[in-house]
Chain A
Amino acid sequence: MTDVTMTVNGQTVSGSVEGRTLLVQFLRDSLGLTGTHVGCETSQCGACTIHMDGKSVKSCSMLAVQADGAAITTIEGLADGEALHPVQTAFKEHHGLQCGFCTPGMIMAATDIIRRHPEGLNEKTVREELEGNICRCTGYHNIVKAIIAASEAMNADSTKAA
């Protein structure tokens, strides 16, 4: 067993893991953060998407020990208390989910896409950028709408702030 320490959603956490423990197992089983889902566990579906040091990665495709010392954000860390993150709000408003299984990964991927495209998003870009996330229910249409809406809302906010 190896000791790991990382920052998860702003809090320093430590734990003891096997070398082979996947990051997603550590998050779900050791930390109880079950918002991060496991769909395929073979790097295809993106349900397990989290942010490591600010970038989207698939937490089923890395070991917990690889994340030692890193800053991790999961779906649980997005909202500001009771106030939902703008991407969460947009998914709710635009009906960007049905069963909800893919949603945590979709939202973590979406926030990363918006971060990398401060110039704004169009449908083509969003669809290309969502290549790593699979949804079995929605047909993607409302997910794409929600992400574009969130990007517009967040850009409007940052212009106001500036």
Chain B
Amino acid sequence: MYDVTYHRAGSVKEALSLLEAADDGKFIAGGQTLIPAMKTRLAAPSDLVDLRHIADMKTIAVAGKTVTIGAGITHAEVAVNSEIMAVCPALCHLAALIGDPQVRHMGTLGGSLANNDPAADYPAAMLALDAIVVTDKREIAAAEFFTGLFETALNEDELITAIRFEAPEKAGYGKFRNPASRYAMAGVFIAKNGETLRAAVTGAGDDGVFRSAEIEAALSADFSAAGLQDVAVAADDLMTDIHASADYRASLIVAMAKRAVAMANG
């Protein structure tokens, strides 16, 4: 790792001005992606601006069906939060499946979204829940936020402060974990609210998280695992790598969608 100058921000405003003053600075939240990237020199920032002590980014608010989660909230905190559990238990389930306990104690929602790893879990939830990503400058709909592999709509100097969504009537998440890395080889988040239904897939797409038209059409007709019995997902835009072929991932997507809908139906 190249040497780096560390700064600790106490507020969003301070974080932004520290970053602006830096030569080639980067925010650091849980560090669970950034520190490994710095070790391998894939990232070599001159300065780090630590967000972990910004109290404003560490709140969870549930008002009726509206859920607002601070970007600095860790995966471990989401996993056991009773307010989120009461309105959207699928999100707690998802958070509990990220990495391992030690990673969940440090890793944050904001860091995960900013990183937009194609195999990360939260992007699927955000897309299916039609969440809003709140930054220091604007609000971005999830559908516009994730723009490709490790790519987002964020500007270099833009800070995610929170996310917000309306808890759906039903939601579920099915994940097939890579046994070594624990990232998703296919993860499907399904959310249903009245006639509105979204099924978002992570871990499998060539271009990152996406909505599956095939799964959505089948579930609109029959919202159950049986409704997915004869569904085939096209492998054309799916990823092939050392972990799995596109065809295998296509089959995993249907299997994980079945689990997700079973969970959604409780």
Q: Do B52 and A112 touch (CB < 8 A)?
A: no
Stretch from B30-38, B145-153, B200-208, B219-227 that touches the partner = B30-38
* Interface of B (DSSP majority class): mixed
In whole angstroms, how far apart are the Cα atoms of A56 and B103 in the complex? Answer: 9
In the complex, the answer to whether B106 meets A132 with C-beta atoms within 8 Å is no
Q: How far is the CA of A4 from the CA of B209 in the complex (A)?
A: 40
Per the bound structure, the CA–CA distance linking A57 and B35 in Å amounts to 13
Contacts A43-B36, A131-B182; is A65 near B103 (CB within 8 Å)?
A: no
Among A18, A20, A66, A132, contact of B103 (Cβ-Cβ < 8 Å): A132
Beta-carbon nearest neighbor of B99 in chain A: A132
Of the candidate stretches B2-10, B86-94, B245-253, the one touching chain A is B2-10
Q: Do A20 and B4 contact each other (CB < 8 Å), given the known contacts A61-B35, A131-B101?
A: yes
Cα–Cα distance between A132 and B106 once the two chains are bound (Å): 13
A46/B6 in contact, CB under 8 A: no
Quote the shortest CB–CB distance from B27 to chain A (angstroms): 13
Q: How far is the CA of A105 from the CA of B69 in the complex (A)?
A: 31
Q: Which residues of B contact A43 (CB under 8 A)?
A: 32, 35-36, 103
Once bound together, how far apart are the Cα atoms of A42 and B36, in whole Å?
A: 6
Q: Is the pair A56, B101 in contact by a Cβ cutoff of 8 Å? A: yes
A70-106 Cβ-contact flags toward B at 8 Å (1 or 0): 0000000000000000000000000000000000000
* Total chain B interface residues with beta-carbon distance under 8 A: 26
Q: How far is the CB of B77 from chain A (nearest CB, A)?
A: 10
With A20-B1, A42-B36 already in contact, the answer to whether A2 and B6 are too (CB < 8 A) is yes
Chain A's nearest CB lies how many Å from the CB of B123? 20
**Proximity string of chain A (42-69) to chain B, C-beta cutoff 8 Å, 1 when within and 0 when not:** 1100100100100111100111011010
Which of A2, A20, A56, A65 meets B102, CB within 8 Å? A56
**Taking the complex as formed, is B169 at the interface, i.e. its CB lies under 8 A from any CB of chain A?**
no
CB pair A42–B101 under 8 Å, yes or no, is: no
- B72-89 interface with A by 8 A CB criterion: 76
Known: A2-B6, A63-B31. A46 touches B100 (CB 8 A): yes
Quick one: CB contact mask for A98-123 with B, threshold 8 Å, 1 for yes?
A: 00000000000100110010000000
- Docked pose: A52 CA to B4 CA in angstroms: 22
Q: Which of A2, A61, A131 lies in contact with B106, CB distance below 8 A?
A: A61
User: Which B residues are within 8 Å of any A CB, using their own CB?
Assistant: 1-6, 8, 28, 31-32, 35-36, 38-39, 48, 50, 52, 76, 99-103, 105-106, 182
Contacts A66-B31, A68-B8 aside, 14 further interface pairs with beta carbons under 8 A come to: A19-B4, A19-B6, A20-B1, A49-B102, A57-B102, A58-B103, A58-B106, A61-B32, A62-B106, A63-B31, A65-B6, A66-B52, A109-B101, A132-B102
